[in-house]
Amino acid sequence: MRILSSQVSEHVGEEVTVAGWLHRVRALKSVTFAIVRDRDGLVQVVAAEPELVKRLAVLTEETVVEVTGTVTANQQAPGGVEITSPAVRELSEPAVASPFDLYRPVVSAALPTVLDNAAVALRHPRLRAPFEISAASVAGYRRALDRLGFTEVHTPKVVSSATESGANVFALDWFGRKAYLAQSPQFYKQTMVGVFERVYEVGPVFRAEPHDTARHLAQYTSLDAELGFVADHRDVMAVVRQAVAEMVATIAERAPGAVELLGVKLPDVPEEIPSIHFADAQELLARETDEDPRGEPDLAPAHERWLCDWALREHGSQFLFVTGYPMRKRPFYTHPDPERPEFSNSFDLLFRGLELVTGGQRLHRHSDYLAALEARGESPEPYAGYLAAFAHGMPPHGGFALGLERFVARLTEADNIRWTTLFPRDLHRLAP
Ligand code: AMO
C-alpha cells in the first residue's frame, strides 16, 4: 500500500511503500541516507545492505523512486521515524543534474534564475509554499461566496471591447476581426447580475502593463464578484470583508505547513475594517506629511503605504478601505456619490501598503449608461451586448475584484509579486 510521507509515523513496525523524488542522498561508509520528498513532505530512508548502499550513493537528486520498507522509530530522524531495509525502485532518472540544491532550507538563487528554472525550482518547499497559500486563498474565496448565495460563472477571455481603459489592452486577430484579451470580466459579471443576482468568478485577466514594477503583471488571477440590490458601495465592502476573512481562515486551516515554513503572520481581519474617504485621505496626507496631494485624481503608491501605516497606528488594522475616488479617474460604469457627484461610490481596499481590491457601485439605468458614454465622447455601439442588460432592467448593483497574486505577495511579504505567480507574464517574460 502506498502511503504519504506524513502518514509514515502511523505505521511503525509495518511494511509501507512511499513514492517521490530523491531530495537528498547522503552516503556514509556503510550506510546511505536518502530523503524522499512527496507531495506531503519528507521521509528518511536508510540503506545498510551493501549492494543498495552502493546503488543509492550514485543516484542523483530528483531521481523518482518508489521505496518499500519497514517503518522504524528513530528519534534522530526527521519526524521521528525512518524506513529501513528498503527495496528501491527507480521510476525515472533525471537527464541533467538539478541547478539548485533543493534540500538547502534557504533559497539563495535570485528571482530571474528561479523563474527561468521554474519547473525544478518550484519543487523547493519554500518556493512552492506561496502556491499552497494561493490555493487555500481561492478555496476560502469560493467558500465565502458560495455561502453568501453567489453563483460561480466563467466568462470569455477574448472580447470585442476594452473594459477598464483602452490603454493597457492586448489586441489580437480573431478570424480577421479585431479582438482583445479581457482586462476584467467586468461587463459579463454585471450582465450576469440580471440572471443570477449574485455571481463570482476566479480567472485570468490580461493587462498590457508597459511598466516594470514589483506589483504589476501582464496576466494575473482576478477574484471577481458582483451582486444586485445593494444600497450603495458599502454593501459591496461588507462582502469583501467576509471574503477576505474566509480566505485568511482557510489558509490557516488548509496550508498550516506553508504558513509555518514561511513564517507568515496571518492578519486579523477586523469585524469593521476602517474606512476613510478619498478627500479626507488627501487632507490627512497634506496635514501630516511633506506632500500635498490635494487635487490629484488618485493616490500614489507612497500615499497608499503611508495610509496603511496610519491605519495600523490609529486603528490597529492591516486593512484600510479608501472610498469615494474622484469620478474622473474611474471607468464609465461607476456610480457617482449622489451627495457629491464629483466623487464616486467606489472603494479600494489597501492591505499592508498595497491596493488589493477595487470595487464599487455601478450605474444601473440604461439612460445613465448612454449619458455616461456620451459625456466621455464614446459611442454606445461597441457596448451593445453589454448595454442590452440595462435596457432589459437591472437592479442597483456593485462588485469588486481582488488580485490573487498581490494578496499572497503581501501575506508572505514577498518583495516581488513574481515570487507568488506561476510562470509570470510581463514585459520581458513569455516563457517558460
Ligand atoms: P482594477 O483594475 O483596479 O479593477 O483591478 C482589481 C485588482 O486587481 C489587481 N491588479 C493587478 N494585479 C497584478 N498585476 C496587475 N497589472 C494588476 N492590475 C490590477 C489589484 C487590483 O486592486 N473591474 C475592476 C474591479 C471592479 O470594480 O469590480 C478592476 O478590474 O489587486
- Domain annotation covers residue 108: no
- Domain annotation covers residue 145: yes
CA 348 / ligand 1 centre spacing (Å): 10
HSE-up of 206 (CA within 13 Å, CB side)? 16
Integer CA distances (angstroms), 152 to 90, 135, 226, 397, in order: 43, 17, 11, 17
Q: Are residues 263 and 338 in the same domain?
A: yes
pLDDT of residue 167: 73
Which pLDDT band holds residue 166 (cuts at 50, 70, 90)? low
Q: Are residues 270 and 404 in the same domain?
A: yes
- Domain annotation covers residue 240: yes
Greatest extent of the chain over all pairs of C-alpha atoms, in Å = 84
Which pLDDT band holds residue 164 (cuts at 50, 70, 90)? confident
Testing ligand 1's pocket by substitution, the residue of 134, 190, 220, 247 carrying the most ligand atoms inside 8 A of its CB is: 220
- Domain annotation covers residue 97: no
Testing ligand 1's pocket by substitution, the residue of 199, 206, 358, 417 carrying the most ligand atoms inside 8 A of its CB is: 358
Q: Are residues 50 and 147 in the same domain?
A: no
pLDDT above 90: residue 165: no
| CATH number where 75 lies | 2.40.50.140
- Domain annotation covers residue 107: no
Q: Are residues 57 and 179 in the same domain?
A: no
HSE-up of 146 (CA within 13 Å, CB side)? 9
Which of 95, 77, 112 lies closest to 424 in space, CA to CA? 112
**237 near 275, Cβ under 8 Å?**
yes
Other residues' Cβ atoms within 10 Å of the Cβ of residue 112: 11
> Which amino acid is it at 208?
A
CA 410 / ligand 1 centre spacing (Å): 15
pLDDT of residue 209: 86
Residue 18's domain comprises: 5-90
- Domain annotation covers residue 336: yes
Which amino acids bring their CB within 6 angstroms of ligand 1?
164, 184, 186, 207, 209, 216-217, 220, 222, 355-360, 399-401, 403, 405-406
Q: What percent of the chain has pLDDT over 90?
A: 94
Which pLDDT band holds residue 349 (cuts at 50, 70, 90)? very high
Question: What are the DSSP calls for 249-317, one per residue?
Answer: HHHHHH-HHHHHHHT--PPP--SS--EEEHHHHHHHHHHHSS---TT-SS--HHHHHHHHHHHHHHH--
CA 239 / ligand 1 centre spacing (Å): 17
- Domain annotation covers residue 292: yes
Q: Are residues 174 and 219 in the same domain?
A: yes
CA 70 / ligand 1 centre spacing (Å): 53
- Domain annotation covers residue 396: yes
| CATH number where 374 lies | 3.30.930.10
The number of folded domains in the chain is 2
CA 246 / ligand 1 centre spacing (Å): 20
Q: Does the predicted interface ipTM exceed a cut of 0.90?
A: yes
